């Protein structure tokens, strides 16, 4: 066989191998990461999903900072569930996380600026929450 035929056969074999791997990957369950810490602004889904539509990370972060405890505990907002705003994106909490977040808001003495550390795992775009605590200020 000449050199060109060998290259063509190798390229085809590589192509079919990659197609096979991609097909297998599409059948796999979503990967989940465990025992992670996520830092962001905790907010209700109803408000946060409206903010993230703009796509402007600075504006989204500013709105998340100003989001009030009173709003987060309103019936409709609380019923929508909670999540974390990180870098202009909203990550929904699981059902347990919604309960932990509601309890966090109720016990907090703060009125806004709910920058928190969430311990848990990510499955798809949902955070499975183990705990929520006020984030420690960054050292400058």
Q: Is residue 139 part of a domain?
A: no
The residue assigned the tokens 């602004």 is 41
User: For residue 16, what pLDDT band results from cuts at 50, 70 and 90?
Assistant: low
36 and 8 in a common domain: no
Q: Is residue 130 part of a domain?
A: yes
Q: Is residue 140 part of a domain?
A: no
Number of domains, the chain: 2
Q: Is residue 21 scored above 70 in pLDDT? A: no
Whole-model pTM: value is 0.72
Domain coverage including residue 11: 1-30
User: For residue 3, what pLDDT band results from cuts at 50, 70 and 90?
Assistant: confident
Q: Which helix (H) or strand (E) holds 44?
A: strand 32-44
25 and 37 in a common domain: no
Q: What is the pLDDT of residues 90-102, one digit of tens each?
A: 999 999 999 999 9
Residues whose CB is less than 8 angstroms from the CB of residue 35 and which lie 6 or more positions away in sequence, other chains included? 119, 121
Q: Is residue 33 scored above 90 in pLDDT? A: no
Q: Per-residue pLDDT averaged across 106-110, rounded?
A: 95
């Amino acid at each position: 066989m000449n050199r060109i035929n060998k290259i063509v056969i190798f390229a085809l074999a590589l192509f079919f191998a990659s197609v096979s791997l991609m097909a297998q990957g599409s059948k796999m369950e979503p990967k989940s990461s465990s025992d992670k810490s996520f830092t962001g602004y905790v907010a209700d889904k109803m408000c946060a999903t409206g903010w993230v539509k703009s796509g402007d990370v600075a504006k989204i972060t500013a709105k998340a900072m100003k989001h009030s405890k009173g709003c987060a505990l309103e019936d409709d907002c609380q019923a929508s569930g909670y999540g974390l705003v990180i870098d202009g994106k909203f990550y929904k909490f699981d059902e347990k996380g919604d309960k932990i977040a509601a309890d966090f808001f109720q016990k907090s003495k703060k009125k806004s600026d709910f920058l928190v550390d969430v311990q848990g795992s990510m499955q798809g775009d949902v955070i499975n929450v183990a705990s929520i605590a006020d984030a420690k200020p960054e050292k400058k």
